[in-house]
Chains A and B, each alone.
Chain A
């Protein structure tokens, strides 16, 4: 039931764009995105609650395609501070206190 993220790793130059995908074999209720820097806690980026929803702040945005059971995270004009491991976390039902199942992570390195 674990969502699958792709790619596993990506290296960018500052200013380049990247897309990280999160796919599920099961219908999703919501998708969360988190970024984790080495040795630190995951930081919440955004949540997408229904199919077709798009969200974004700054130059990071995400979409949720309910039909494809997939979410994509878009990082545009990447900055050095974007480096880290990005995890998607999925909910299959909205269950009070229910768990998030995290993908295996995508390691993003932004070089000057």
Chain B
């Protein structure tokens, strides 16, 4: 079963530091996403990415955040200057796009738990 791989699984960083979260989506998927989940809460959309550009982003995804697909396989989320409230589990996901009826659900990675201290 193909899977989405995320590294690292845990990251602790000091407030104000930059972090890069890495993801390897499923190779034949076209759409890539970052979501986050604060402990015990719902999964929140951050950004979607298609054809090497951002297709949609949420209000959470401000200038401190950026995404990149540097080499055709990795998909990264950078947070430039972390704040305490950025502490959360960050999930990468990927999906195919099916114009005909089909199951094009997201495949989520196992997440990176980011703790900002």
Chain A residues within CB distance 8 Å of chain B: 2, 32, 34, 36, 40-47, 49, 87, 89, 95-105
Q: Is B49 an interface residue (CB 8 A)?
A: yes
Q: Is B31 an interface residue (CB 8 A)?
A: yes
Closest to A98 in B: B56
Q: Could you tell me which residues of chain B, from 35 to 88, have a CB within 8 Å of some CB in chain A?
A: 41-45, 48-50, 55-56, 58
Q: Could you tell me which residues of chain B, from 94 to 114, have a CB within 8 Å of some CB in chain A?
A: 97, 101, 103-111
Q: Which residues of B contact A96 (CB under 8 A)?
A: 31, 50, 55, 97
A97 touches B50 (CB 8 A): yes
A100 touches B50 (CB 8 A): no
Q: What are 14 inter-chain pairs, A to B, with CB distance below 8 A? A: A34-B108, A43-B108, A44-B105, A44-B107, A46-B103, A87-B42, A96-B50, A97-B48, A97-B55, A98-B48, A98-B55, A99-B48, A100-B45, A100-B106
Which of these, A42, A49, A101, contacts B101 with CB under 8 Å? A49
Q: Which residues of A contact B108 (CB under 8 A)?
A: 34, 41-44
Chain B residues within CB distance 8 Å of chain A: 31, 33, 41-45, 48-50, 55-56, 58, 91, 97, 101, 103-111
Distance between Cα atoms of A102 and B44 in the complex (Å): 7
Q: Which residues of A contact B55 (CB under 8 A)?
A: 95-98
Which of these, B58, B91, B97, contacts A42 with CB under 8 Å? B91
Distance between Cα atoms of A46 and B19 in the complex (Å): 34
The smallest C-beta distance from A38 to any residue of chain B, in angstroms, reads 10
The smallest C-beta distance from A57 to any residue of chain B, in angstroms, reads 10
Distance between Cα atoms of A42 and B111 in the complex (Å): 10
Q: Which residues of B contact A32 (CB under 8 A)?
A: 105-106
A102 touches B43 (CB 8 A): yes
